[in-house]
Amino acid sequence: MRHMQKKFLRTAAILTGTALMALSSPASASSHREAPFLTNSPKVDGTDFYMFRSYEANRAGFVTMIANYQPFQDPQGGPNFYQFDENALYEIHIDNNGDGKDDMTFQFRFKSTSKKTALNIGGKQVLIPLMNSGTISGINPASLNVRETFTIDMVKGDRRGGTRTRLASTGGANEFDKPVDNIGDKTFGSAGAYETYANQHIYNVSFGSCGAGRVFVGQRKEPFYIAVGKIFDLFNLNPLGPEVNGNPNNLEGKNVSSIVVEAPIACLTNGTEPVIGAYTTASVRQGRLINGAPATGLNNASKEGGAWAQVSRLGMPLVNEVVIGLDDKDKFNASKPTDDAKNFADYVTNPVLPALIESLFPTAKAPTNFPRTDLVAAFLTGIAGLNQPAGVKGAEMLRLNTSIAPTAQGAQSPLGVAGGDNAGFPNGRRPADDVVDLSVRVAMGALCQLTGAADTFKVGCKPSDAPAGGLPFNDGVRKTAADFKPAFPYLNTPLPGNQ
């Protein structure tokens, strides 16, 4: 019994630690205002990326990817609310052979069209100042004054030079309507009516000969949970207190803009290799001219052109905020995974976060093994025996072993693999996975607690290198899968603007 307990704890440490390693690697982050440039461009600020085997009933043969943008949305966001940037390119990238390069990319472009709704005021037709002129139901009703639509291109090979296919619904349409944000209960007729309206914008989409899946693009309630205020106030909390201790989830009252794609596993994988890597980006045009006298209409305040320039990147959670140095945050967001070892290696091999934690909590000693080979191994390759592709070349991205069956909603552990649930983080990421707690633990050396000949994951360090590696660091905030929807698009109804 004692031997079994020791083996369980060692296995949990492997997968807790490795999951959390992301925090001390140059990975993409749960990027809520994490880089200087993006504070000026919130529409292209990627906030979180999720990827998991679909756990909705009868959908286990699919992978769901969720790319969230535009952080800290107050529900009362009128009169313009939170549209996507029609001058930007939003992308989800797939690497299905472990070489760190894009093999498939889903590209989303948006367009907003004014209906020029006007009222007769004293004999003159005058444009109204609001998004809607009455209650809203159905797709693109007459009462919706701005129609927002999007297209999806699937690119195989290089994101700019590969083979491009414009995706269409199973009914043949290749332009899709996005639901307007949750303006309020009066606009949609009653409390709770918004979700009925939004669900009409779930589209069945053909991905070619490999099959069909689903796409939803629209506003959702912010799923990420973190005591962000206390953490960025020099960890103004007890990091070894109860895992649920009343600390506020500062994102609880916010919404977010989501791109959700569910695709058949066969459309994403390559041959017999079940592991895929993925990350999301946003790009803008290199040239922008401000129009000092814009014409009447939408999107006339500037003229944009030139090549695409990537300004946001997101794969693993919580790295750009707390790992990448301030002066390199914009550089990281503009980079590709294949350049990580060249550009950001020091942030992985000699991470700052553990030293900062020790300076604030002197009894929590930072690991002393430099270079941090434990973090390099987990960050670059995925975990051997879990989600490491054959012949992998080091590159940061969220990795998912599609051969591991999804865990039913009621049986999921927020600690993912560390909680005995191999279908969770760091094998992909689901909405309820507690990546904050897991990431801090690995940064403090949880992987170094592994030792002995039976270890399946060699990380190049020993327990004495990480005195605090076995401690249950946490921010006191926790959710479970039951806090989210059990079916596509999984994220909850956005908070209404009238609340």
pLDDT in tens, 171-206: 999 999 999 999 999 999 999 999 999 999 999 999
Give the span between the Cα atoms of 115 and 136, in whole angstroms: 15
Which region, left, alpha or beta, applies to residue 382 given φ > 0 means left and ψ of -120 to 50 means alpha? left
- Enclosing domain of residue 139: 2-483
Residue 402 domain-assigned (yes or no) = yes
pLDDT in tens, 253-294: 999 999 999 999 999 999 999 999 999 999 999 999 999 999
- CA 259-264-270 angle, to 5 degrees, is 105
Residue 125, judged by CB atoms within 10 A of its CB (0-12, 13-18, 19+), counts as: exposed
Residue 494 domain-assigned (yes or no) = no
Residue 490 domain-assigned (yes or no) = no
Residue 369 domain-assigned (yes or no) = yes
State how many domains the chain has.
1
Q: What's the predicted TM-score (pTM) here?
A: 0.91
The conformation of residue 407, written as its DSSP 8-state character, comes to: P
Residue 489 domain-assigned (yes or no) = no
Residue 21 domain-assigned (yes or no) = yes
Residue 473 domain-assigned (yes or no) = yes
In this predicted structure, the answer to whether residue 5 has a pLDDT above a threshold of 50 is no
Among the listed residues 63, 10, 27, the one whose alpha carbon sits nearest the alpha carbon of residue 406: 63
Average of pLDDT values for 482-492? 98
Which region, left, alpha or beta, applies to residue 417 given φ > 0 means left and ψ of -120 to 50 means alpha? alpha
pLDDT in tens, 95-111: 999 999 999 999 999 99
Give the span between the Cα atoms of 344 and 288, in whole angstroms: 29
* Contacts (Cβ under 8 Å, ≥6 apart) of 40: none
Residue 328 domain-assigned (yes or no) = yes
